[in-house]
Amino acid sequence: MARILVVDDDQGMREFLEIMLTQEGYQVSTASDAGKALSLCRKDKFDLVITDLKMPKMDGIGFLRAVKDLSPDILVILITAYASGETAVTAMNEGAYDYIEKDFAIDDLKKIVQNALRKKGASRDDESIRQEVGDSAYCGNMIGNSREMLKLYGTIKKVADTSANVLILGESGTGKELVARAIHENSSRKKMPFTIINCGGIPENLLESELFGYIKGAFTGAYADKAGLFEIARGGTVFLDEIGELPPLLQVKLLRVVQEKTFRRIGGTDDIHVDVRIISATNQNLADNVKSGSFREDLYYRLNVIPLHLPPLRERKEDIPVLTEHFIEKYSREFGKAIKTISAYALGLLMQYPFPGNIRELENIIERSVALETSNIILPENLILDIADIPDAGLNLNDEIAKFEKALIGKALRKAKGSKTKAAELLMISYDSLYYRSEKLGINS
User: Taking 90 as the threshold, does the pLDDT of residue 280 lie above it?
Assistant: yes
Per-residue pLDDT band for 394 (boundaries 50, 70, 90) equals low
Top-confidence residue, 36 or 384? 36
Q: Is residue 381 predicted with pLDDT exceeding 90?
A: no
Measured CA to CA, the distance from residue 28 to residue 38 in angstroms comes to 15
Nearest alpha carbon to residue 167 among 109, 81, 246, 75: 246
Task: Dump pLDDT digits (tens) for 294-317.
Answer: 999 999 999 999 999 999 998 888
Does residue 55 contact residue 31 with C-beta atoms inside 8 Å? no
pLDDT of residue 121: 63
Q: What is the mean pLDDT of residues 151-165?
A: 88
CATH (residue range 3-124): 3.40.50.2300
- SS3 at position 246: coil
Write down the H helix ranges in 24-105. Answer: 34-43, 60-70, 85-93
For domain 134-309, is the CATH number 3.30.1600.10? Answer: no
Q: Which of 82, 146, 61 is closest to 319 using CA atoms?
A: 146
Distance, in Å, from the CA atom of 94 to the CA atom of 388, rounded to the nearest integer, reads 33
Confidence of residue 131 (pLDDT cuts 50, 70, 90): low
With beta carbons less than 8 A apart as the criterion, state whether 198 and 241 touch. yes
Instruction: Please give the pLDDT value at position 150.
Output: 86
How do residues 431-441 score in pLDDT, each as one tens digit? 877 887 887 77
d(CA 181, CA 341) in angstroms, rounded, equals 29
Residues 97, 39, 122, 115: what is their CA dihedral angle, to the nearest 10 degrees? -40
Q: What's the topology of domain 397-441?
A: Arc Repressor Mutant, subunit A (1.10.10)
Q: What secondary structure does DSSP assign to 118-131, as a single string?
A: HHHHHGGGHHHHHH
Note the pLDDT of residue 361. Answer: 92
Model pLDDT for residues 74-116, shown as the tens digit of each residue: 888 888 765 555 566 677 777 788 777 777 778 878 888 887 8
| Domain locations along the chain | 3-124, 134-309, 313-382, 397-441
Between 286 and 136, the more confident residue is: 286
Using 50, 70 and 90 to split pLDDT, how confident is the model at 72? confident
Evaluated on CA atoms 111, 114, 120, 124, the torsion sign reads negative
Count how many residues are written for the chain: 445
Pick the range with the lowest mean pLDDT from 161-170, 276-285, 384-393. Answer: 384-393
Average pLDDT over residues 369-398: 72
Please give the average per-residue pLDDT across 338-344, as a whole number. 84
Rounded Cα distance, 296 and 293, in Å: 7
Tell me the CA distances in angstroms from 41 to 8, 58, 122, one per residue in order: 15, 15, 22
Q: Residue 293 burial by CB count (10 A; 0-12/13-18/19+): exposed, middle or buried?
A: exposed
CATH topology identical between 3-124 and 397-441:
no
Question: Which residue did the predictor score with more confidence, 341 or 176?
Answer: 176
Can you give the pTM of this predicted structure?
Answer: 0.60
The string of DSSP codes covering 394-406 is ---HHHHHHHHHH
- Higher pLDDT, residue 436 or 35: 35
pLDDT at 442: 76
Tell me the CATH class for 313-382.
mainly alpha
